[in-house]
Amino acid sequence: MVRYTTRRLLLLVPVALGAAVITFVLLLLLPGDPAIALLGQEASGPEIARFRNLLGLDRPVPIQLGLYLWRMARGDFGRSITLDAPVLRLILSTLPATLELAIFSITLAVVGGIPLGLLAARRRGTAVDTTTMLLAQLGVSMPVFWLGVLLILLFAVKLNWLPSFGRGAPLVAALVSGNAGLIMDSLRHLILPGFTLAFFNLALLSRLTRWALLEVLEEDYVRTARAKGQRERIVLYRHALRNALLPIVTIVGLQFGNALGGAVVTETIFGWPGMGRLVVQAIGQRDFPVVQGAVLVLALLFSLFNVLVDLTYAFIDPRIRYG
């Protein structure tokens, strides 16, 4: 197990290198460069040329790439071109908000989606099943921006229950402080963006759970368990669900990665100060150092989470052993 984990963690090095090189090349292929983005329409040709020189953008590509990898290897993420601040500081100031939203929404999706799928599988063919799956269908097909705006108009404007935008106190800090007011403030700000981001995953998980359970419930060992006279609840939770969990955990792992990188729309709608928005803005403004640094951090987080998912398999299914 230790050897396996070490090997998987060492594999993160080529992943980081690959992510760094691919980001670098893709940015080179984008039309328009940081000099133009920063100086804007007011700039003249010679000023842009001077600025490109200052940024080293006029050097041969292999040299630019080499210098960039060397900086990254030393942990030097550079300085943002448009935001006039160190890239690492920008990442560290936005990453907690993104993680908070991602974890909250995945938690919502798991605690909502799996029980709903279970319910639908247990009551297969009944009105409960049909209603749940209709809701799930709605969830996977509803565009995030539309759902977000709808929720704001209903809960913030019409009912005036929840704030329309922004992040409250950081949830972890609020929980540590034990201050009920702060925790409340944090949760009130999290609900709408968290649910918006969770809805698709919640729907997907409920469908997946229902499907996985129905598959498992057809298996011989389930019939044996029932034949032994075990209570339905034990059959369902101890025998069926445990076996159905493997594909579900895989999907949850992948969804967490998506929630990290794909929260951009949600972050934009709710004015959530996360890293997704930072990256998209940086791409639009050709702020290369920010894009490069942020993509690297996201790629590493995503890979790290996949390692964790693989390790959880061993806990869920005793037959899986890593050597």
Q: Identify residues 201-230 at the interface with another protein (CB under 8 A).
A: none
The reply to whether 115 sits near another protein by the rule CB under 8 A is yes
**Of the candidates 161, 176, 231, 321, which one interacts with another protein according to CB under 8 A?**
161
The reply to whether 56 sits near another protein by the rule CB under 8 A is no
The reply to whether 93 sits near another protein by the rule CB under 8 A is yes
Q: Which stretch binds another protein (CB under 8 A): 105-113, 212-220, 255-263, 303-311?
A: 105-113
**Of the candidates 12, 15, 17, 38, which one interacts with another protein according to CB under 8 A?**
38
Q: Which has the closest alpha carbon to 117: 219, 226, 209, 45? A: 209
Whole-number minimum distance, CB 144 to another protein, in Å? Answer: 12
**Of the candidates 129, 185, 215, 317, which one interacts with another protein according to CB under 8 A?**
185
The reply to whether 184 sits near another protein by the rule CB under 8 A is yes
Q: What is the DSSP letter of 40?
A: G
The reply to whether 191 sits near another protein by the rule CB under 8 A is yes
The reply to whether 85 sits near another protein by the rule CB under 8 A is yes
The reply to whether 166 sits near another protein by the rule CB under 8 A is yes
Bridge partners of residue 79, in order along the sequence: 86
The reply to whether 21 sits near another protein by the rule CB under 8 A is no
**For residue 25, what are its two tokens?**
């090349």
How far is the C-alpha of 206 from the C-alpha of 199, rounded, in Å?
11
The reply to whether 135 sits near another protein by the rule CB under 8 A is no
C-alpha dihedral, 220 to 223 to 227 to 229, nearest 10°: 130
305 close to 245: Cβ distance less than 8 angstroms: no
- Name which of 69 and 83 has its Cβ closer to another protein: 83
DSSP characters for 47-110?
A: HHHHHHHHHTTTS-HHHHHHHHHHHHHTT---B-SSS-SBHHHHHHHHHHHHHHHHHHHHHHHH
Whole-number minimum distance, CB 7 to another protein, in Å? Answer: 31
**For residue 272, what are its two tokens?**
């959530």
* Residues between 229 and 268 that touch another protein (CB under 8 A): 237-238, 241-242, 268
Residues in the chain: 323
Tracing tokens 């949600």 back to the chain, one arrives at 266
The reply to whether 318 sits near another protein by the rule CB under 8 A is no
The reply to whether 152 sits near another protein by the rule CB under 8 A is yes
